[in-house]
Protein backbone atom coordinates (compact mmCIF):
# COMPACT_ATOMS: atom_id res chain seq x y z
CA UNK A 1 0.00 0.00 0.00
CA UNK A 2 2.80 2.32 0.99
CA UNK A 3 4.59 1.59 -2.30
CA UNK A 4 1.45 2.23 -4.31
CA UNK A 5 0.94 5.53 -2.50
CA UNK A 6 4.55 6.44 -3.15
CA UNK A 7 4.16 5.50 -6.81
CA UNK A 8 1.01 7.53 -7.50
CA UNK A 9 1.01 10.37 -4.96
CA UNK A 10 4.78 10.78 -4.87
CA UNK A 11 4.98 10.73 -8.66
CA UNK A 12 2.25 13.31 -9.07
CA UNK A 13 3.74 15.55 -6.39
CA UNK A 14 7.13 15.38 -8.03
CA UNK A 15 5.61 16.23 -11.40
CA UNK A 16 3.75 19.18 -9.90
CA UNK A 17 7.05 20.34 -8.47
CA UNK A 18 8.25 20.92 -12.02
CA UNK A 19 6.35 24.18 -11.70
CA UNK A 20 9.00 25.91 -13.73
CA UNK A 21 7.74 23.76 -16.59
CA UNK A 22 4.06 23.78 -15.88
CA UNK A 23 3.67 27.54 -16.19
CA UNK A 24 1.44 28.33 -19.18
CA UNK A 25 4.20 30.62 -20.43
CA UNK A 26 6.35 27.54 -20.94
CA UNK A 27 3.74 24.89 -21.45
CA UNK A 28 1.99 26.53 -24.40
CA UNK A 29 5.10 27.34 -26.51
CA UNK A 30 6.87 24.10 -25.61
CA UNK A 31 4.09 21.56 -25.77
CA UNK A 32 1.58 23.11 -28.16
CA UNK A 33 3.52 25.37 -30.53
CA UNK A 34 6.85 23.50 -30.60
CA UNK A 35 5.66 20.15 -31.96
CA UNK A 36 3.55 21.78 -34.67
CA UNK A 37 6.44 23.96 -35.83
CA UNK A 38 8.77 20.95 -35.98
CA UNK A 39 6.20 19.00 -38.00
CA UNK A 40 5.79 21.94 -40.41
CA UNK A 41 9.54 22.53 -40.66
CA UNK A 42 10.29 19.01 -41.79
CA UNK A 43 7.16 18.64 -43.91
CA UNK A 44 8.18 21.73 -45.89
CA UNK A 45 11.83 20.65 -46.06
CA UNK A 46 10.59 17.29 -47.31
CA UNK A 47 8.62 19.04 -50.07
CA UNK A 48 11.70 21.10 -50.98
CA UNK A 49 13.97 18.05 -51.01
CA UNK A 50 11.38 15.97 -52.86
CA UNK A 51 11.25 13.18 -50.29
CA UNK A 52 8.42 11.64 -48.30
CA UNK A 53 4.98 13.12 -47.98
CA UNK A 54 3.28 15.22 -45.32
CA UNK A 55 1.89 12.14 -43.57
CA UNK A 56 5.39 10.67 -43.24
CA UNK A 57 6.76 13.79 -41.55
CA UNK A 58 3.65 14.36 -39.46
CA UNK A 59 3.80 10.91 -37.88
CA UNK A 60 7.58 10.87 -37.44
CA UNK A 61 7.89 14.26 -35.81
CA UNK A 62 4.71 14.04 -33.74
CA UNK A 63 5.83 10.78 -32.14
CA UNK A 64 9.44 11.96 -31.76
CA UNK A 65 8.35 15.16 -30.03
CA UNK A 66 7.15 13.04 -27.10
CA UNK A 67 10.86 12.93 -26.32
CA UNK A 68 10.71 16.53 -25.08
CA UNK A 69 8.67 15.77 -21.95
CA UNK A 70 9.87 12.16 -21.69
CA UNK A 71 13.55 13.14 -21.64
CA UNK A 72 13.54 16.66 -20.19
CA UNK A 73 10.89 16.24 -17.50
CA UNK A 74 12.24 12.86 -16.47
CA UNK A 75 15.82 14.06 -16.13
CA UNK A 76 14.63 17.22 -14.38
CA UNK A 77 12.91 15.17 -11.69
CA UNK A 78 16.42 14.20 -10.54
CA UNK A 79 18.51 17.07 -11.90
CA UNK A 80 16.07 19.58 -10.42
CA UNK A 81 16.24 17.95 -6.98
CA UNK A 82 20.00 18.09 -7.22
CA UNK A 83 20.02 21.74 -8.22
CA UNK A 84 17.65 22.76 -5.48
CA UNK A 85 19.68 20.75 -2.96
CA UNK A 86 16.75 18.50 -2.02
CA UNK A 87 18.17 15.31 -3.48
CA UNK A 88 19.92 14.43 -0.24
CA UNK A 89 16.67 14.75 1.69
CA UNK A 90 14.95 12.53 -0.85
CA UNK A 91 17.58 9.82 -0.83
CA UNK A 92 17.97 9.75 2.93
CA UNK A 93 14.35 8.60 3.24
CA UNK A 94 13.71 4.88 3.63
CA UNK A 95 11.31 4.98 0.65
CA UNK A 96 11.68 2.09 -1.78
CA UNK A 97 13.51 3.32 -4.81
CA UNK A 98 11.55 1.48 -7.52
CA UNK A 99 8.12 3.00 -6.74
CA UNK A 100 9.84 6.28 -5.92
CA UNK A 101 11.47 6.69 -9.33
CA UNK A 102 8.92 4.81 -11.44
CA UNK A 103 6.15 6.89 -9.92
CA UNK A 104 7.90 9.95 -11.23
CA UNK A 105 7.80 8.53 -14.73
CA UNK A 106 4.03 7.98 -14.91
CA UNK A 107 2.94 11.65 -15.26
CA UNK A 108 5.80 12.14 -17.71
CA UNK A 109 4.45 9.35 -19.92
CA UNK A 110 0.99 10.93 -19.84
CA UNK A 111 2.59 14.26 -20.76
CA UNK A 112 4.42 12.64 -23.68
CA UNK A 113 1.19 11.09 -24.97
CA UNK A 114 -0.55 14.46 -24.73
CA UNK A 115 2.18 16.25 -26.66
CA UNK A 116 2.13 13.70 -29.46
CA UNK A 117 -1.66 13.80 -29.72
CA UNK A 118 -1.63 17.59 -29.89
CA UNK A 119 1.03 17.44 -32.61
CA UNK A 120 -0.93 14.86 -34.58
CA UNK A 121 -4.18 16.79 -34.32
CA UNK A 122 -2.74 20.22 -35.13
CA UNK A 123 -0.50 18.78 -37.85
CA UNK A 124 -3.48 17.04 -39.50
CA UNK A 125 -5.45 20.29 -39.45
CA UNK A 126 -2.67 22.49 -40.83
CA UNK A 127 -1.27 20.09 -43.40
CA UNK A 128 -4.64 18.64 -44.38
CA UNK A 129 -3.56 15.07 -43.66
CA UNK A 130 -6.41 12.63 -43.05
CA UNK A 131 -5.83 9.59 -40.87
CA UNK A 132 -8.15 6.57 -41.13
CA UNK A 133 -10.78 6.73 -38.39
CA UNK A 134 -10.08 3.11 -37.48
CA UNK A 135 -6.42 3.94 -36.86
CA UNK A 136 -7.05 6.46 -34.07
CA UNK A 137 -7.37 4.06 -31.15
CA UNK A 138 -4.46 1.85 -32.28
CA UNK A 139 -2.41 5.03 -32.73
CA UNK A 140 -3.12 5.91 -29.12
CA UNK A 141 -1.77 2.50 -28.09
CA UNK A 142 1.37 3.00 -30.18
CA UNK A 143 1.90 6.51 -28.83
CA UNK A 144 1.52 5.22 -25.26
CA UNK A 145 4.08 2.47 -25.77
CA UNK A 146 6.46 4.90 -27.49
CA UNK A 147 6.14 7.43 -24.68
CA UNK A 148 6.83 4.64 -22.18
CA UNK A 149 9.93 3.53 -24.07
CA UNK A 150 11.24 7.07 -24.38
CA UNK A 151 10.62 7.68 -20.69
CA UNK A 152 12.78 4.62 -20.05
CA UNK A 153 15.60 6.43 -21.84
CA UNK A 154 14.68 9.51 -19.81
CA UNK A 155 15.16 7.48 -16.64
CA UNK A 156 18.67 6.59 -17.83
CA UNK A 157 19.33 10.31 -18.43
CA UNK A 158 17.90 11.04 -14.96
CA UNK A 159 20.36 8.57 -13.47
CA UNK A 160 23.25 10.18 -15.33
CA UNK A 161 22.02 13.49 -13.92
CA UNK A 162 23.25 12.19 -10.56
CA UNK A 163 26.75 12.35 -11.95
CA UNK A 164 26.91 15.06 -14.64
CA UNK A 165 26.18 18.73 -14.12
CA UNK A 166 25.02 19.71 -17.60
CA UNK A 167 21.82 17.70 -17.83
CA UNK A 168 20.22 20.18 -20.26
CA UNK A 169 23.09 19.65 -22.69
CA UNK A 170 22.97 15.87 -22.24
CA UNK A 171 19.24 15.67 -22.90
CA UNK A 172 19.44 18.00 -25.91
CA UNK A 173 22.12 15.74 -27.38
CA UNK A 174 19.95 12.65 -26.83
CA UNK A 175 17.00 14.43 -28.45
CA UNK A 176 19.15 15.33 -31.47
CA UNK A 177 20.39 11.75 -31.82
CA UNK A 178 16.83 10.43 -31.73
CA UNK A 179 15.92 12.95 -34.44
CA UNK A 180 18.63 11.63 -36.76
CA UNK A 181 18.62 7.93 -36.01
CA UNK A 182 15.01 6.89 -35.40
CA UNK A 183 13.71 7.26 -38.94
CA UNK A 184 11.85 10.42 -37.99
CA UNK A 185 12.52 12.28 -41.23
CA UNK A 186 14.63 9.86 -43.23
CA UNK A 187 13.45 6.29 -43.84
CA UNK A 188 15.70 3.72 -42.17
CA UNK A 189 16.31 2.22 -45.60
CA UNK A 190 17.93 5.51 -46.70
CA UNK A 191 20.24 5.67 -43.68
CA UNK A 192 23.73 4.14 -43.73
CA UNK A 193 23.63 0.54 -42.49
CA UNK A 194 25.34 1.27 -39.16
CA UNK A 195 22.83 4.02 -38.41
CA UNK A 196 19.85 1.84 -39.26
CA UNK A 197 21.27 -0.92 -37.05
CA UNK A 198 21.78 1.49 -34.18
CA UNK A 199 18.22 2.78 -34.62
CA UNK A 200 16.89 -0.67 -33.79
CA UNK A 201 18.21 -0.25 -30.25
CA UNK A 202 16.73 3.18 -29.68
CA UNK A 203 13.26 3.97 -28.36
CA UNK A 204 10.76 5.52 -30.79
CA UNK A 205 12.17 3.77 -33.90
CA UNK A 206 9.70 0.88 -33.76
CA UNK A 207 6.92 3.11 -32.46
CA UNK A 208 7.27 5.51 -35.38
CA UNK A 209 7.36 2.61 -37.84
CA UNK A 210 4.21 1.13 -36.27
CA UNK A 211 2.41 4.49 -36.28
CA UNK A 212 3.25 5.01 -39.96
CA UNK A 213 1.80 1.63 -40.87
CA UNK A 214 -1.37 2.35 -38.90
CA UNK A 215 -1.68 5.72 -40.62
CA UNK A 216 -1.91 4.04 -44.01
CA UNK A 217 -4.59 1.60 -42.95
CA UNK A 218 -2.86 -1.29 -41.16
CA UNK A 219 -4.63 -2.83 -38.17
CA UNK A 220 -3.24 -3.13 -34.68
CA UNK A 221 -2.44 -6.87 -35.01
CA UNK A 222 -0.28 -6.03 -38.06
CA UNK A 223 2.07 -3.97 -35.90
CA UNK A 224 2.13 -6.17 -32.81
CA UNK A 225 5.72 -7.19 -33.47
CA UNK A 226 6.89 -3.60 -33.66
CA UNK A 227 4.90 -2.71 -30.54
CA UNK A 228 6.41 -5.59 -28.59
CA UNK A 229 9.90 -4.56 -29.67
CA UNK A 230 9.24 -0.99 -28.58
CA UNK A 231 7.81 -2.12 -25.24
CA UNK A 232 10.70 -4.52 -24.64
CA UNK A 233 13.22 -1.77 -25.38
CA UNK A 234 11.37 0.55 -23.03
CA UNK A 235 11.44 -2.06 -20.28
CA UNK A 236 15.16 -2.60 -20.86
CA UNK A 237 15.84 1.14 -20.59
CA UNK A 238 13.74 1.34 -17.41
CA UNK A 239 15.75 -1.50 -15.88
CA UNK A 240 19.01 0.10 -16.99
CA UNK A 241 17.86 3.43 -15.55
CA UNK A 242 16.95 1.91 -12.20
CA UNK A 243 20.25 0.04 -12.12
CA UNK A 244 22.21 3.19 -12.93
CA UNK A 245 20.27 5.18 -10.33
CA UNK A 246 21.16 2.62 -7.71
CA UNK A 247 24.81 2.57 -8.74
CA UNK A 248 25.22 6.34 -8.98
CA UNK A 249 23.38 6.84 -5.69
CA UNK A 250 25.77 4.45 -3.96
CA UNK A 251 28.80 6.08 -5.62
CA UNK A 252 27.55 9.55 -4.74
CA UNK A 253 27.19 8.57 -1.10
CA UNK A 254 30.59 6.91 -1.08
CA UNK A 255 32.33 9.91 -2.65
CA UNK A 256 30.12 12.52 -0.96
CA UNK A 257 29.33 14.05 -4.35
CA UNK A 258 25.56 13.84 -4.23
CA UNK A 259 24.93 17.56 -4.22
CA UNK A 260 28.14 18.82 -5.78
CA UNK A 261 27.34 21.17 -8.65
Which residues of the chain form contacts with another protein (CB under 8 A)? 20, 23, 25-26, 29-30, 33-34, 37-38, 40-42, 44-52, 166, 168-169, 172-173, 175-177, 179-180, 184-187, 190-191
Residue closer to another protein (CB basis): 27 or 216: 27
C-alpha 140/C-alpha 56 separation (Å) is 17
Q: End-to-end distance of the chain based on CA atoms, in angstroms?
A: 36
Residue 238 has φ and ψ, to the nearest 5°, of -60, -45
Looking at beta carbons only, is 24 or 221 nearer to another protein?
Answer: 24
CA angle 125, 32, 104 (to 5 degrees): 130
- A 10 A CB-CB count for 14 gives 24
Instruction: Decide if 158 contacts 75 (C-beta within 8 A).
Output: yes
Residue whose CB is less far from another protein, 60 or 103: 60
Nearer to another protein, 12 or 191 (CB): 191
> Which CB, 68 or 102, lies closer to another protein?
68
For residue 27, the minimal CB distance to another protein (Å) is 8
Angstrom distances, CA of residue 23 to CA of 15, 121, 166, 171, 223: 12, 22, 23, 21, 37
Print burial letters for 133-146: b (CB count within 10 Å at least 16), e (below 16). eebeebbeebbbbb
CB of 28 to another protein, least distance (A): 9
Nearer to another protein, 2 or 48 (CB): 48
Question: How far is Cα 257 from Cα 100, in angstroms, rounded to an integer?
Answer: 21
- In the bound complex, what is the minimum distance in angstroms from residue 6's beta carbon to another protein? 30
Length of the chain: 261
The pair phi, psi for residue 105, each rounded to 5°, is: -85, -25
CB of 177 to another protein, least distance (A): 7
State the DSSP H helix or E strand holding residue 105, giving kind and residue range, or none if neither.
helix 97-127
Output 180 or 220, the one with its CB closest to another protein.
180
Residue 100 beta carbon to another protein: minimum distance, rounded to whole angstroms: 28
Q: What is the closest distance, in whole angstroms, from the C-beta atom of residue 45 to another protein in the complex?
A: 5
Q: Smallest distance from the beta carbon of 198 to another protein, in angstroms?
A: 14
Amino acid sequence: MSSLRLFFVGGLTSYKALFGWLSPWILVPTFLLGPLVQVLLFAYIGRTAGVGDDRFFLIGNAVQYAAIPCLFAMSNTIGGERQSQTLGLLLVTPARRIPLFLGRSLPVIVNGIGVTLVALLSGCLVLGVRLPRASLLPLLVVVTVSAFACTGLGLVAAAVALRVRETAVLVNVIFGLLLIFCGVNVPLSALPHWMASTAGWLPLTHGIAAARRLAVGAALPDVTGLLLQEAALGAAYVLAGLGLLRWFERESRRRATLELM
